[in-house]
Chain A
Amino acid sequence: MPPYIRRSLICLSVDDPKLAEKAFESWADAIILDIVKSPIQDWQQVLKAKMPTAIAAAAHGGAEVFVRLNAGTAQAELEATVFTGLTGVVLVGVGDRTELVQANERLEVLERERGLAIGSVEIDLEITTAQGVWNSLEIARASPRVGTMTINERALYQHLEIPFETTLEVEPIEFIKGQIITVATSVESQAQGMSYPLCVSQNEVDEATLTKAVRRARDTGFKGVVCAHASWVKACNEGFRPSPAEVEYYREVREVFAEGLKRGLASVPLNGKMIDVPVDLRAEVYLEWADRVALRDQQKIQAHQL
């Protein structure tokens, strides 16, 4: 079960004059705000003035709102960006646990100062370097705030000097993805990502290709993705969830298995497959996941009707 229903995330600039409109129309589960540091003014003061409005604008369509910060300069950026309404911060390029510990401490101070519940601001990790991969477990364990882990594939490819060619039948960073998914899951976080080769090419593709890519990403263990294009959002919202066919199947699984238990059986057949406790547990998880997705969709619909 994913800790968060966060299937589609899109990045928008805090300076985008159409921020509210784009966020509203996107139907994304989450908006990640990219900050711009003014070179001619006190950028912290400028951002402090902008952020509350930007957070509200991004949340207008029911999306959770995050702000994307550079791990190396996070202390100053946290000061300028953490306000009511923010679900969390995305730390880009974390290389070791110290950066996370420091961000955690700073957030606690800011939460006290700004009347936010202590520990309520999530920290999400965007991995862009070999250091981030190598140290991923200790980084993820460094703060209970860690919510999601995302590999920024293009940045990581550049850092690892892997060419942006997608001609290999194997995915160059397949094992890194496996590492991040298991690390994230081990700390009760979740991993976000797209399947190969779309994760590298980041093209706008036809609906069928996108649907297939999202399904592969979901079945690899990802729970959502930072969309390269707004056009990805619909397929991600529909794909990072149990499909209608799965919901139907798992409902039947639960019914058939419950009847079997009443008859004193530990396993029962269904369409030629054996249904036992692990399958029933999987069915339970998938149905609960589907219910939570439906609830999340309902929240967004209501937000759009306000």
Chain B
Amino acid sequence: MSQSKNSRRSWLIVPADHDDVVAYAGSHDADIVVLDLEYTVAPKNKDRARVGVTGQIAKLTATGAEVFVRVDRVTRWADVRAAISRDLTGIVLPSPDDAADIVELDALITTLEKERGVELGTTEIVLMFESAKSFWNADALGRASARVSGLGVGRIDLSMTLGTVPQNEFRLYRFLMTRTLVAARMLGKQALGAFWRPGSRGGVASVADTMRAAREARLLGFSGCVCAAPEQVAPVHAGFVQS
């Protein structure tokens, strides 16, 4: 049984190829553990990570964790094939551009659910917007599949594709957060994102900055965000608490 979307505050990213890190991922009290098959896995380790991912999912869910897998957009078919299992709650898809991508992914997941005895339609999809196109297509992307349960704002690819150079504050970011929030509320999905500042984001964000980023995201209408390090789970929870 998946959690209420309101209780999905922290989405802890864990590289799927690091068995030692994954082994402890369930102990950090994150609301969601996201096994990563994207950037935190070195290209040479991707095949190995895929082979082991269903086993990792099963071990983590046995500890009570709710588990998603973040796929690589480029290799999403192989990644999804590797991940779909009864214990998996959902897929995090970075940088979707067109609704057709989601329709295709939905069909693949349905096929795999049938093959693997997973209750049909239960595997969720969370979309992380990381391109200009994705923000403008947010409505169509969110409607493309009933599986879509959350819309989030990505960051690294986003600044790359938009060509922005964040100085002190990524000024476009609030506009993109607003657009994501509006789309999410319109479609009844969870809005994911935090108001990170350049220089203190990702794995290097301090506890104080993480809490501030989460708190400000809450005040902007968001209810959860990705954590790149276990130390960020507690400040994210604190930031998303109603004062």
Residues of A within 8 A of B (CB): 129-131, 133-134, 159-163, 165, 167-168, 170, 172-176
Query: B97-137: which have CB < 8 Å to A?
Result: none
- Interface of B, secondary structure class, is helix
Q: Which of B78-86, B159-167, B201-209, B216-224 contacts A (4 or more CB under 8 A)?
A: B216-224
Q: Is the CB of B178 within 8 A of A175?
A: yes
- If A173-B178, A174-B174 touch, whether A134 touches B183 (CB-CB below 8 Å) is yes
CB distance from B133 to the nearest CB of A (A): 16
Q: Is the CB of B221 within 8 A of A129?
A: no
Q: Is the CB of B139 within 8 A of A160?
A: no
Chain B: number of interface residues, binned into ranges:
10 to 19
Residue of B nearest to A167 (CB): B219
16 residue pairs from A and B, CB less than 8 Å apart: A129-B185, A134-B182, A134-B183, A134-B186, A160-B182, A160-B221, A161-B185, A161-B221, A161-B223, A162-B219, A162-B220, A167-B219, A168-B216, A173-B178, A175-B175, A175-B179
Residues of B contacting A167 with CB < 8 Å? Answer: 219
Residues of B within 8 A of A (CB): 139, 174-175, 178-179, 181-186, 216, 218-221, 223, 242-243
Distance of A163 Cα from B218 Cα, bound (Å) = 8
Neighbour of B183 across the interface among A130, A175, A176, CB < 8 A:
A130
Residues of B contacting A134 with CB < 8 Å? Answer: 139, 182-183, 186
CB distance from A249 to the nearest CB of B (A): 31
Distance of A275 Cα from B44 Cα, bound (Å) = 64
Residues of B contacting A159 with CB < 8 Å? Answer: 185
Q: Is the CB of B186 within 8 A of A172?
A: no
Distance of A280 Cα from B12 Cα, bound (Å) = 58
Distance of A176 Cα from B186 Cα, bound (Å) = 14
Q: Is the CB of A160 within 8 A of B185?
A: yes
Q: Is the CB of A165 within 8 A of B243?
A: yes
